[in-house]
Structure 1
Amino acid sequence: MNNTLKAQIEQVISLTDKEFDFILSCFVFKKYKKHQFLIQEGEPVPYLFFIDTGLLKLVFTDNNAKEHILDFAMQGWWETDLKAFYNQSLASMSLECIEDTQVYALDLQGYNRLRKELPKLNEFFLDKTHKGFIASQQRILSMMKNNTTERFFELQERFPGIMQRVPKSLLAAYLGVSRETLSRLDLK
């Protein structure tokens, strides 16, 4: 039994063991190695991922081959290219492992089955959608109004322990600055 997934769902709704067994039957457990892609830009996006262990980055690569990190995802988080997943279209972003990672993958058919056959899961998925949307809005506003130092401290708050897990080049890409700029910051 996956205690991380069950615990997260039960933060929003209560489950019986039978209900959780049904939920788990709709997921596929997958393991990925560091630098392996779960999603690649231009390819189909078959899954919504729940991260059991590990750390990932959601990346957009622009026309100049510059990598922009939209988000990091760690244990207990959900991640995918949502537009491509829900529309069953091609990815506009990539999802890559920064560390060896284990996930529970849910395809669209399983997602719809869960929502139909266990309607109280709609409350859980709605809660996750709202929180994800709020986090995205906060990130956009932060990029627009905060300086690099403020964004750096927000990064630390949102992702505790990330400084020890991620190279400075990736932190800089997330913050929208060069590695050199990040190194020059007085972060005391």
Structure 2
Amino acid sequence: MDRLRQHIEATSPLTDDEFEYVKGYFTLKKVRKNQFLIHEGDDAKYEYLVLSGIYKVFFVDNAGKEYIMQFAQRNWWMSDYYAFFKQKDASMFIECMEGGEVLYSTLASREKLSADLHKMEHFFRAKLTNGYVALQQRIKLLLSSTPQQRYEEFSRLYPELIERIPKKFIAEYLGVSRETLSRLYGKG
């Protein structure tokens, strides 16, 4: 739970009593490689904070093609957020690509923490805002840049992931073929 405290306190410092209260709303889970945290159609009742490992958040279209929305790593939050906030069935999957640990909590827990502690409301709002900004930047990049620019930006933002994630998944995330990624990777 020390990692949870460090993560929260990077945004909102807590007293020892406040942290004791907060940590009661989170549960630790060990996750194996290739294990799913969410399947399409599941009740997406949890939001996850990555402590270790790498996770792939994706959906599959009607033709069976996979689209990766996010790679989540240490200190990243993940869920099928539409399903989580609207309390609907999931339309996404979350798969563990590299075994690790997560902390998870429910929407009701998030709401209770936010109502009881202004510091936690501030923390969750800051995380949600940062996630929204990152998502807008990702969409902008996908819509208005070349494959080379997308690869360079991914390499700049996530240099550690280049070596840890199979190239076919990086290609999928960037919206390029595996062959195109191989050419781009050779230029880097």
TM-score between both structures, scaled by the size of structure 2: 0.96
Contact persistence 1:149–1:187 (CA under 8 A) = no
- Number of residue pairs the alignment of both structures matches: 187
- Secondary structure (helix, strand or coil) at the match of 1:34 reads coil
Residue by residue over 1:21-47, the C-alpha shift from the partner in whole angstroms, topping out at 9 and shown as x without a partner, is 111110111111011111111111010
1:65 equivalent in structure 2: 64
1:56 aligned onto 2:49? no
- Secondary structure (helix, strand or coil) at the match of 1:99 reads strand
2:187 equivalent in structure 1: 187
Contact persistence 1:148–1:175 (CA under 8 A) = yes
User: C-alpha separation between the residues in 1 aligned to 2:154 and 2:2?
Assistant: 27
Contact persistence 2:33–2:96 (CA under 8 A) = yes
Identity percentage over the alignment?
40
Contact persistence 2:49–2:102 (CA under 8 A) = yes
- More helix, by proportion: 2
User: C-alpha separation between the residues in 1 aligned to 2:2 and 2:155?
Assistant: 26
Residue by residue over 1:120-173, the C-alpha shift from the partner in whole angstroms, topping out at 9 and shown as x without a partner, is 211111101110000000000000111111111111222231011100100001
2:153 equivalent in structure 1: 154
- Secondary structure (helix, strand or coil) at the match of 1:161 reads helix
Report runs of 4+ in structure 1 exceeding 6 Å deviation.
Answer: none
1:89 aligned onto 2:93? no
Q: Which amino acid aligns with 1:75?
A: R
2:117 equivalent in structure 1: 118
Q: Which amino acid aligns with 1:71?
A: Q
- Secondary structure (helix, strand or coil) at the match of 2:118 reads coil
Shift of 1:119: 2.2
User: C-alpha separation between the residues in 1 aligned to 2:2 and 2:153?
Assistant: 29
Q: Which amino acid aligns with 2:129?
A: H
Q: Which amino acid aligns with 1:187?
A: K
